[in-house]
Amino acid sequence: MVQAPIQGRSTAQFPASASAESPRAWIARCAPPLSGAGVGGLQPLAGLRFAAKDNIDAAGLRTTAACEAFAYAPAVNATVVQKLLDAGAALAGKTNLDQFACGLNGTRSPWGAVPNAFDPAYVSGGSSSGSAYVVATGQVDFALGTDTAGSGRVPAGLNNIVGLKPSKGLISARGVVPAAQSVDCVSIFARSVGLAAQVLDAARGYDAEDPYSRALTLADRPFPKTFRFGVPDALEFFGDTLAEAEFDRARARLRELGGVEVRFSYRSFAESAALLYESALVAERYAAIRDFFDAHEVDVMAPVRGIIAQGRAYDAADLCAAQTRLRALAQQAAAQWQAAGGQGMDLMLVPTAPTHYTIAQMQADPVVLNRNLGAYTNFVNLLDYAALSVPSSIRPDGLPFGITLIGPCGSDWQLAELGQRYHHATGLTQGATGEPLPAPLPIPGLRSPSAAPSTVRVAVVGAHLSGMPLNTQLTERGARLLAQTTTAPHYRLYALPGTVPPKPGLQRVAEGLGARIAVEVWEMPIEHYGSFVALVPAPLGIGTLALEGGGNVQGFLCEALALDGALDITAHGGWRAYLSAQAAQSQPRA
């Protein structure tokens, strides 16, 4: 069924004052906008126009990454652009950005500095500066940005719009010029949370041709009615007392919505953020465009050129050390989620940006002030979290103030549900248009807390894996693969003798004695689950498995007595790897 436009109005209906264009916001326009054909008659985004940051490919338009010497003409659309066209949206053009998506301020482009939608003397935020501006001023309904260190959130906070930074790998980055590929995300700008969530639903999906794409399982129930939100124990606003006061108001509003405020140590998060530019991790920015940069360094503007060039100074051992340090900090950060206030926290609340800067201030001190804008954003992708920047208030000086809700990987729908309630509680209007917020929308993929589950998730470890002999027991019951992941490090895996077809046995062991074992998580209609369990032969059974990163699912476990004499294959890390090793050993030697 073809749906009506989600937010009710085309951009042509906005008043002229709200549609005033900055020539620096656009790099290329489509006249008329490029439309998709739709898939199977389903066009959930029909009637909506969007823009794409100009490091995202769109067939028929050059991709510049804000560097003329780098520009090329892609033959096909980026996966995310194609998905949105298939959903009925129309592409209005490509937007300006900090060159090579390197910056958080919007002044680092040969096409010019993109102004703030509320006061042109101030920065728009970057690197997705143009995308935020054209959404805030009502020129498009939504826009795509990218987010490595906050580029999908800072521009939203500075322009009174929503910036949805999904869990890494949820939206394909194929066809996106990388900034730091292992932590890049395609992000979504909209004037309301409801629309941003609808766009995410259309854009998400596993892409086998994107090396960092993941088939993620998203939490499908809202945060508890009484939820715990963490606030850093050390807050820095760089002397901006107006921003500090607005954050105090935001904390109070979240408490009014049912939140219980707790404090947590911010040290490990801040140290993680610093690694992005102050360690060998910056080498990934150089690696992203190494061939071009080595041949055309002079064509890259300062300070982008200096930041990327830093990557040449590190060797492989430096990178390994930085990655190990990041892992250690991630462990410390994970402990804060459990320890905050003695009972843990469900999500984190931070200012999206701690202050505003004028364009003149930023150009006079481009490195330090840019770093300040990322005080609460740089760590999020490095530590694998989801985040949602939501408008919070208009300051007494007329500039917007935004907050960011941060949750564990897979909490995207939960953040959207709470973020939508928060946004509507502010009484703000949409971006810089002066238009009232539309009615709240149902958040896709989210059930009400009282709804009975319609599906069950089950982890398989052996003969039920994709392509294995018993996988049809899942597929014939309508099950679908959600994710390829591992267990928590508390299990050992054994090859069971005499089983047909061959099967492994998984056993939970004491802490420190186990390892992570590869599993697939499948989702099955609950009405078929009983017949599936009935097929499981002894000594195997169904129990509760703990997954890497938290969370429990149903899964295969083995009776301890059946493991006497069984071969311990834990070192292989999974059943597929064990079978591959067996096959290699059976090959005749040359």
Q: What is the pLDDT of residue 445?
A: 87
Q: What is the pLDDT of residue 588?
A: 67
Q: What is the pLDDT of residue 480?
A: 86
Residue 456 has pLDDT above 50, yes or no: yes
What is the average pLDDT value for the chain, to the nearest integer? Answer: 92
Model confidence at 317, in pLDDT bands (50, 70, 90)? very high
Q: What is the pLDDT of residue 379?
A: 97
Rg (CA), the chain: 25
Secondary structure class of 99 (helix, strand, coil): helix
pLDDT in tens, 435-446: 999 999 999 988
Mean pLDDT of the region 32-45: 76
Helix %, strand %, coil % of the chain (to 5): 35, 25, 45
Mean pLDDT of the region 2-28: 49
Token pair belonging to 542: 């169904």
Residue 203 has pLDDT above 50, yes or no: yes
Residue 578 has pLDDT above 80, yes or no: yes
Q: What is the pLDDT of residue 348?
A: 98
Q: In this structure, how many other beta carbons lie within 10 angstroms of the beta carbon of residue 504?
A: 24
What would the DSSP string read from start to end of 203-245?
Answer: H----TTSTT---PPPP-SPPPSSEEEEEESS---TT-HHHHH
Q: What is the pLDDT of residue 51?
A: 98
Max avg pLDDT among 305-314, 446-455, 479-488: 305-314
Is residue 127 annotated as a catalytic residue, yes or no? yes
Q: What is the pLDDT of residue 285?
A: 95
Mean pLDDT of the region 394-414: 97
Residue 170 has pLDDT above 60, yes or no: yes
Q: What is the pLDDT of residue 8?
A: 32
Q: How many residues are recorded in the chain?
A: 590
What would the DSSP string read from start to end of 572-586?
Answer: G-SHHHHHHHHHHHH
Residue 470 has pLDDT above 70, yes or no: yes
Q: What is the pLDDT of residue 39?
A: 54
Q: What share of the chain has pLDDT > 70, as a percent?
A: 94
Mean pLDDT of the region 388-412: 97
What CA–CA distance (Å, rounded) separates 460 from 468?
A: 11
Long-range contacts at 538-547 (CB < 8 A, ≥ 24 apart): 538/562, 539/496, 539/505, 540/503, 540/505, 542/458, 545/459, 545/487, 545/491, 545/506, 545/519, 546/487, 546/488, 546/490, 547/459, 547/485, 547/486, 547/487, 547/488, 547/519, 547/521
| Marked catalytic residue, from 53, 94, 168, 503 | 53
Q: What is the pLDDT of residue 41?
A: 58
Q: What is the pLDDT of residue 38?
A: 59
| Range from 51-65, 419-433, 547-561 carrying the lowest mean pLDDT | 547-561
Place of tokens 């990163």: 549
Model confidence at 447, in pLDDT bands (50, 70, 90)? confident
Mean pLDDT of the region 177-183: 96
Beta-strand pair 227-232/347-351? parallel
Mean pLDDT of the region 436-459: 84
| Marked catalytic residue, from 22, 109, 127, 268 | 127
Mean pLDDT of the region 265-292: 95
Model confidence at 5, in pLDDT bands (50, 70, 90)? very low
| Range from 50-64, 66-80, 400-414, 553-567 carrying the lowest mean pLDDT | 553-567
Q: What is the pLDDT of residue 549?
A: 73
Residue 366 has pLDDT above 60, yes or no: yes
| Range from 3-17, 71-85, 130-144, 528-542 carrying the lowest mean pLDDT | 3-17
Closest CA to 266 of 277, 254, 274: 274
| Marked catalytic residue, from 109, 129, 151, 172 | 151
Amino acid at 288: A
What CA–CA distance (Å, rounded) separates 174 from 443?
A: 26
Mean pLDDT of the region 485-491: 92
Q: What is the pLDDT of residue 392?
A: 98
Q: What is the pLDDT of residue 251?
A: 97
Residue 457 has pLDDT above 60, yes or no: yes
Is residue 151 annotated as a catalytic residue, yes or no? yes
Is residue 129 annotated as a catalytic residue, yes or no? no
